Amino acid sequence: MNATAVTSAHWALSPVGFWHVAQVWRLERTCFGLEDAYDPFTLLGLLGNGRYVRVQARQSNRMIGFVAGEVETRRDTAWIVTLCVDPQSTRQGIGSGLLAEAEQQLAKRVSRVQLTVRKSNHSAIRLYERNQYKWASTLAKYYRNGEDGLVMEKQL
């Protein structure tokens, strides 16, 4: 972790390993529900693969936020695969802190980062816009329930 990452007296950023799979899965279900949360096997792959950057936010002994970004060096791009903050811990800068730390790590390997967000997730869209992400395209019916996904990107 980089000492310049955003932190707070109430929470701190730290690396995540495959041994955190149960905590990540619990947080994913809390944030996204069973329909959109990654399953434990997918999370194990994500947590154990060197192509991913993974960061957690912790408060005491509890994971309250998580971000993972996949590096695609051939395309000089990374994808923020998931970013979630416990709904009881929002509005503390955790999402921005997680994003900033992931971007800092990704910038060592690629020059651009992209992500997909539900068209209806206005709070997440505002978070990304505040962090200099711009709309790039729309993926029609991207989510399981048929909702469009907005692809947003940022030059690192």
Supply the pLDDT for residue 10: 83
Number of domains making up the chain:
1
Give the pLDDT confidence of 69-90 residue by residue, as tens digits: 999 989 999 999 999 999 998 8
Q: Which whole-number Å values give the CA distances from 32 to 8, 37, 41, 153, in the listed order?
A: 25, 5, 17, 21
Within-domain flag for 5: no
Q: Provide the whole-model pTM.
A: 0.89
Q: Given this model, what pLDDT does residue 89 score?
A: 87
Q: Look at residue 1 and tell me if it is in a domain.
A: no
Name, in order, each residue with C-beta under 8 angstroms of 68's C-beta and a sequence gap of 6 or more: 16, 46, 47, 52, 53, 54, 55, 80, 81, 82, 102
| Cα 93 from Cα 77, distance rounded (Å) | 25
The neighbouring-strand residues paired with 13 are 57
For the chain, give the percent of residues with pLDDT over 70. 94
Q: Does 111 map to a domain? A: yes
What is the phi/psi pair of residue 67, to 5°?
-140, 145
Stretches in the chain below the pLDDT threshold 70: 1-9
Model pLDDT, residue 6: 52
Closest CA to 2 of 95, 124, 85, 104: 104
Quote the domain boundaries for residue 136. 12-155
Rg (CA), the chain: 15
User: Is residue 4 one of the residues assigned to a domain?
Assistant: no
Instruction: Please check whether residue 7 lies inside any domain of the structure.
Output: no
Residue 2 lies in a domain: no
| 28 assigned to some structural domain | yes
CATH value at residue 75: 3.40.630.30
Query: Is residue 97 in a domain?
Result: yes
